[in-house]
């Protein structure tokens, strides 16, 4: 019998990430295997992807391309040629389905069987946290720390038109339709799109061709504009943020790619009131992301196409400049203070070579600080953060793992770099003063001191 739902996974050289997702789906799909299928299109992987699939313990429809055909080509292959379900839900090979997520999708399809498009609310999860979650045998909702969700409405709704999604409370409505996993739609939409969607074999995020960036949005939005849709408010999936091979192009794709998508969407039946709302949200996002591209040029690619095609339009809107200036203030302050911490630490080490160094705070200033002192990493023996979500994570630019603050007692440090915001420095030093000898040297943006002198 034809499955009700095909869970489709295009993949390429991500065997370990894919294994975690399949382990996840093995639990989530256990009670509905009679009405779903898991479909994987392998884009000519050269790693152990085939072995992972063979050992996953799930009935999988599997196909392997003889050569890499790009992301969009692989998307069409898995949905049009390998899948057979009435509906399709595409998942990235690095995503995580939340407990009960598959059941909520199935329930929505059954409740609103006449609806062609079911929007799936989602959250974000850091790449390091995803690795830890993947090690939990049977995770529950309490194991998932969702920093934010796309839409704040957490209940199921039948909406009178697709465009009502844009007016739901959301932190950034401009990315509503940018993710491949954010909707379930009839498979026929994908089949029909083969006639006019012409993607390239691009895979690294550098493409400027709209068919490569947002094929999933292009093949659905015009067909359901103005039509009734279902909205699954309880988040069903987490997007893994960070660690992407194409991460240097991420901001370029968000600024230029979504600008391109919205201009294209303007020529479809998509309602104008909703378009205006999307553009307003887009200019705010573009301002923030463009600031990061300018502040951290070595981490971002594609700035030229962004400058040529997206910024001239965005720069005529006040909301863009407000967001740009606000984010730039944060970026400049963070970079300045990270450089100051590095300078102060080097000054201390000049007179105290061989000191055992600790770092408190790994986000923002701490992240930039570690980048600035890679030559000193050998002397850094302990790092910590108050946010328990990071405990156990391996730090980028370091071989260290994040510890809980209270473990500082056993670290035997000579020097502690406090890389928190200025308003938290006093709390950190106060804690250190209570549990460690007073002669430990404190390095913060307020200068060099020991904890006793700091309080004096």
At residue 327, φ and ψ (nearest 5 deg) are -70, -35
The vertex-258 CA angle with 365 and 122, nearest 5°, equals: 70
Q: Give the model's pLDDT for residue 388.
A: 78
Q: Give the model's pLDDT for residue 104.
A: 97
**162: in domain:** yes
Q: Give the model's pLDDT for residue 146.
A: 61
> What pLDDT digit, counting tens, does each position of 378-411 carry?
899 999 998 877 788 777 767 788 999 999 999 9
Does one domain contain both 358 and 219? Answer: no
**276: in domain:** no
Q: Give the model's pLDDT for residue 455.
A: 42
Q: What total number of domains does the chain contain?
A: 2
> Which has the closest alpha carbon to 144: 184, 112, 100?
100
What residues are paired with 416 via a beta bridge? 358, 442
Q: Give the model's pLDDT for residue 453.
A: 42
Q: Which pair of tokens denotes residue 52?
A: 């992972």
**388: in domain:** yes
Q: Which domain holds residue 354?
A: 335-455
Does one domain contain both 223 and 341? Answer: no
**279: in domain:** no
The vertex-289 CA angle with 364 and 76, nearest 5°, equals: 115
Q: Which residue has the tokens 């300078």?
A: 343
> Which has the closest alpha carbon to 41: 2, 4, 67, 5?
67
- Domain with residue 115: its CATH number is 3.90.550.10
**124: in domain:** yes
Distances (CA, A) of 152 to 159, 232, 233: 16, 11, 8
Does one domain contain both 192 and 64? Answer: yes
Q: Which of 245, 280, 296 is the last residue of a domain?
A: 245
Q: Which of 181, 212, 245 is the last residue of a domain?
A: 245
Segment holding 132, helix H or strand E? helix 127-133
Q: Which residue has the tokens 């946010």?
A: 387
- Domain with residue 429: its CATH number is 3.40.50.720
Q: Which pair of tokens denotes residue 65?
A: 């391309």
Q: Give the model's pLDDT for residue 399.
A: 77
Does one domain contain both 15 and 116? Answer: yes
The vertex-202 CA angle with 258 and 197, nearest 5°, equals: 65
Q: Give the model's pLDDT for residue 264.
A: 97
Q: Give the model's pLDDT for residue 129.
A: 66
pLDDT < 50 regions, the chain: 451-456
Collect all residues with Cβ–Cβ distance below 8 Å to 202 and sequence separation of at least 6.
70, 71, 72, 209, 212
Does one domain contain both 170 and 22? Answer: yes
**295: in domain:** no
> Which has the closest alpha carbon to 409: 380, 375, 433, 377?
433
Segment holding 258, helix H or strand E? helix 258-265
**272: in domain:** no
Give yes or no for a contact between 153 and 169, defined as CB atoms under 8 angstroms apart: yes
Does one domain contain both 214 and 342? Answer: no
Q: Which of 245, 276, 305 is the last residue of a domain?
A: 245
Q: What does pTM read for this prediction?
A: 0.88
Does one domain contain both 366 and 223? Answer: no
Write the secondary structure of 328-367 as one string of H (helix), E (strand) and C (coil): HHHHHHHHHHHHHHHHHHHHHHHHCCCCCEEEECCCCHHH
**77: in domain:** yes
Coil vs helix vs strand at 122? strand
At residue 76, φ and ψ (nearest 5 deg) are -65, -35
């Amino acid at each position: 019998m034809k499955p009700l739902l095909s869970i489709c996974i295009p993949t390429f050289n991500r065997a370990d990430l894919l294994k975690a997702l399949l382990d996840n789906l093995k639990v989530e799909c256990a009670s509905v295997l009679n009405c779903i299928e898991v479909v994987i299109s392998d884009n000519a992987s050269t790693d152990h992807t085939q072995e992972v699939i063979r050992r996953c313990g799930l009935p999988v429809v599997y196909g392997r391309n003889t050569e890499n055909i790009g992301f969009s080509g692989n998307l069409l292959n898995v949905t049009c040629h390998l899948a057979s379900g009435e509906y399709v839900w595409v998942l990235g090979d690095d995503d995580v389905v939340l407990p009960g997520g598959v059941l909520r999708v199935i329930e929505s399809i059954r409740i609103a069987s006449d609806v062609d498009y079911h929007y799936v609310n989602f959250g974000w999860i850091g790449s390091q946290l995803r690795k830890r979650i993947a090690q939990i045998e049977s995770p529950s909702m309490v194991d998932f720390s969702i920093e934010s969700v796309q839409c704040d409405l957490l209940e199921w709704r039948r909406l009178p038109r697709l465009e009502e999604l844009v007016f739901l409370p959301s932190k950034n409505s401009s990315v509503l339709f940018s993710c491949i996993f954010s909707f379930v739609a009839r498979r026929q939409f994908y089949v029909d799109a083969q006639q006019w969607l012409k993607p390239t074999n691009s895979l690294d995020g550098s493409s400027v061709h709209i068919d490569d960036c947002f094929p999933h949005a292009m093949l659905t939005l015009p067909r359901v504009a103005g039509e009734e849709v279902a909205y699954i408010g309880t988040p069903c999936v987490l997007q893994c943020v960070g660690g992407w091979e194409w991460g240097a192009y991420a901001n370029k794709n968000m600024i230029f790619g979504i600008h391109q998508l919205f201009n294209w969407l303007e020529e479809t039946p998509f309602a104008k009131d909703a378009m205006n709302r999307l553009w307003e949200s887009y200019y705010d996002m573009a301002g923030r992301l463009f600031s990061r591209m300018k502040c951290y040029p070595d981490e971002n690619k594609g700035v030229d196409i962004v400058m040529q095609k997206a910024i001239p339009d965005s720069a005529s809107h006040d909301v863009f400049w407000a967001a740009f200036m606000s984010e730039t203030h944060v970026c400049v302050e963070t970079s300045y203070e990270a450089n100051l911490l590095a300078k102060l630490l080097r000054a201390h080490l000049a007179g105290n070579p061989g000191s055992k160094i600790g770092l408190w705070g790994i986000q923002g200033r701490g992240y930039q600080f570690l980048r600035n002192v890679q030559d000193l990493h050998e002397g850094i023996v302990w790092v910590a953060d108050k946010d328990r979500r990071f405990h156990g994570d391996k730090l980028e630019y370091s071989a260290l793992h994040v510890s809980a603050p209270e473990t500082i007692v056993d670290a035997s440090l000579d020097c502690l770099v406090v890389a928190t915001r200025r308003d938290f420095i006093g709390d950190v030093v106060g804690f250190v003063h209570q549990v460690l000898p007073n002669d430990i040297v404190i390095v913060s943006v307020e200068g060099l001191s020991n904890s006793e002198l700091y309080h004096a």
